[in-house]
Amino acid sequence: MEGRQAVAIRILNAEPIGYSDEARAILRSVGELVEDRVAQEQLAGRVSGFDALIVRLGLRVTRDVIESADRLRAVVTGTTGLDHVDVAACADRRVAVLSLKDETEFLQTVAATAEHTWALLLSLVRRIPWAFDSVRRGGWDRDAFRGRELAGRRLGILGFGRIGARVARYGRAFGMSVGAFDAGSPEVAADVARFTSLDGLLAWSDVLSVHLPLDDTTRGLLGRERLALLPRGALLLNTSRGAVLDEDALVGLLESGHLAGAALDVLCDEQSPARRAASPLMRYVEAHGNLLITPHLGGATSESMRRVEIVMAEKLQRFLTTSHAS
């Protein structure tokens, strides 16, 4: 409106540690960038006065956060999954959610999560963390940490998207037979066996690698009965979202010896320290040597995070300059 002073755009980066300098420069070209490491309990009281909120996976953008904002127009998260953002609350308040969800071409170039999946598998089958810990304490007992080979074993991929397809290629390179099931995308690579049912894939897999989005159809998908379909001595990998599997059921199958081991990069309640500590998996791992847990490191490489932050800064730049002009 003529005669009214324009309100400067303000952006809050609530998880700024290690943030890309190139992305910062893009954001500062749009408006004022405030970088403040905000605790979860402080977030609702901190968003007032900002047009955009940037988070990673350490914070949950809940309904009370959205409803506390007086001028918020966008929540920005460099992730494909959005279970840490109340999307419905954002829609109710007409707050855009900017993510990597539809950045298909860019995501095809990102290898970090697939590489971490394979690092977990190799660490598990060759017992590397436990062997290293023993050596660090003065031990040198190779027989105590005898591993298992991957060549000739069957790798099942649950979810044959960009990450699942890349993990499948790694499996073939290691001499494994590879099969896949994806309810949403029946097409798989020519050198991958396509399963028409999840149960069929589970019963076949010596190693199951899970690459599913979290939604109403996948939450709790791998319960006790389904996990028990895996062959005795099978291994389970999950670098997608913790809530796709039943943690109590997984512990039970590890304790019984039905599953030889598991490696997880995610937990059901990983963002809450109290609930995370109460996870049956966290209790189990304290006393057993067949479970690996990492703190959602899949996409956390310097290269991938820098590129993601630049892409998301450019996406926010386009959104804010377009909406501000209108």
Which residues are marked as active site? Answer: 241, 270, 296
Which residue, among 214, 137, 212, has the nearest Cα to 167 in the 3D structure? 212
| Residue 222 φ then ψ, to 5° | -100, 80
Residue partners of 10: CB distance under 8 A and separation at least 6: 31, 32, 34, 49, 50, 51, 52
Which residue, among 15, 70, 31, 76, has the nearest Cα to 48 in the 3D structure? 70
User: What type of residue sits at position 250?
Assistant: L
How far apart are alpha carbons 202 and 228 in whole angstroms?
9
Rounded alpha-carbon distances, angstroms, from residue 200 to 149, 157, 235, 237: 24, 12, 16, 18
Please check whether residue 160 is in contact with residue 180, taking contact to mean a CB–CB distance below 8 angstroms: yes
How far apart are alpha carbons 195 and 202 in whole angstroms?
10
Which residue, among 235, 176, 175, has the nearest Cα to 206 in the 3D structure? 235
Please check whether residue 155 is in contact with residue 180, taking contact to mean a CB–CB distance below 8 angstroms: no
| Alpha-carbon torsion (15, 16, 22, 26), positive or negative | positive
